[in-house]
Amino acid sequence: MSAENLFILTCILCTGDVMRLAFLGPPGSGKGTQAQILAKNMGIPQISSGDLLREAVQEDTPIGRKAKQYMDKGELVPDTIVVDLVSERIKNESQFLLDGFPRSLSQAERLDEVLSQLKAPLQGVINIGVPLEDVVERLCGRLTCSQCNAIYHTKYSPPEKEGVCDLCGGHLFQRSDDTEAVITERFQTYREQTEPLISYYGEKEMLINVDGTQSIEEIAAAIEKKLHRI
């Protein structure tokens, strides 16, 4: 990221102005974990395309039933579904942290169009890099709250009481796509369709790279530092 872009982000943080960022990274890199930490610290909504899709699946809506066919296989849900879902969610928000969206060039271009109409462009993209061997262990131990979507890990970030969310008391569950076979497929999908976004946002000088192999706390601190540094 250029010094100029860091300066812009610094100004955003220092003046209390709006913040519109996206999180990019392979499955299990910690996009959701870090987006939730930053959202809490900054008081900004985290908008996760995966959570929106899982809610539709849970409610058994026509969109949810269609999306599930792709999610179960580790493939991307068609843009016709995801772009509308996210656009509808962000249209009344002046600031947000996008988690898991965009994850293809076509989605990034559609997001640019939607935000340009709202006169509220994306300001930066936090890219969390992690190798495949790390993500399998992370995802196989992940637990998610059925009520508030808080993220835990049996070893790295366990809840105080087994099976119960610390924040809302909700039931913790293991995602059905967190099996080794589907994780490998999701990683492949990431390589083919999402990784090109690193160049896309790199060329726009919007990329903020973070080493995702560190602990949750170290990554959170690195993100805050990069957002504040000139």
If you write DSSP's letter for every residue of 47-88 in order, what string do you get?
EEHHHHHHHHHHTT-HHHHHHHHHHTTTPPPPHHHHHHHHHH
| Unique residue bearing structure tokens 């809506």 | 61
The answer to whether residue 186 is catalytic is yes
29, 46, 127, 149: residue in contact with ligand AP5 (rule CB under 6 A):
29
Among residue numbers 148 through 187, which ones bind ligand AP5 (CB under 6 A)? 151-153, 156-157, 177, 186
- Residues 67 and 49: their CA atoms lie apart, in Å, by 11
- Residues 12 and 203: their CA atoms lie apart, in Å, by 21
Cβ proximity of 98 and 21 under 8 Å: yes
Segment near ligand AP5 (CB under 6 A); pick from 5-13, 22-30, 87-95, 117-125? 22-30
- Residues 69 and 131: their CA atoms lie apart, in Å, by 27
Q: Tell me the per-residue interface mask from 36 to 75 with ligand AP5, x by CB under 6 A, - otherwise.
A: -------------xx--x----------------xx--xx
CB atoms closer than 10 angstroms to residue 8? 16
6, 12, 27, 46: residue in contact with ligand AP5 (rule CB under 6 A):
27
Closest to ligand AP5 by CB, 49 vs 127, is 49
56, 77, 125, 145: residue in contact with ligand AP5 (rule CB under 6 A):
77
The answer to whether residue 191 is catalytic is no
Q: Quote the least distance from Cβ 192 to ligand AP5, whole Å.
A: 13
- Residues 166 and 25: their CA atoms lie apart, in Å, by 26
- Residues 98 and 102: their CA atoms lie apart, in Å, by 8
Binding site for ligand AP5 (CB under 6 A): 25, 27-33, 49-50, 53, 70-71, 74-77, 82, 100-101, 103, 107, 138-139, 141-142, 151-153, 156-157, 177, 186, 215-216, 219
Catalytic residues: 31, 103, 142, 175, 186
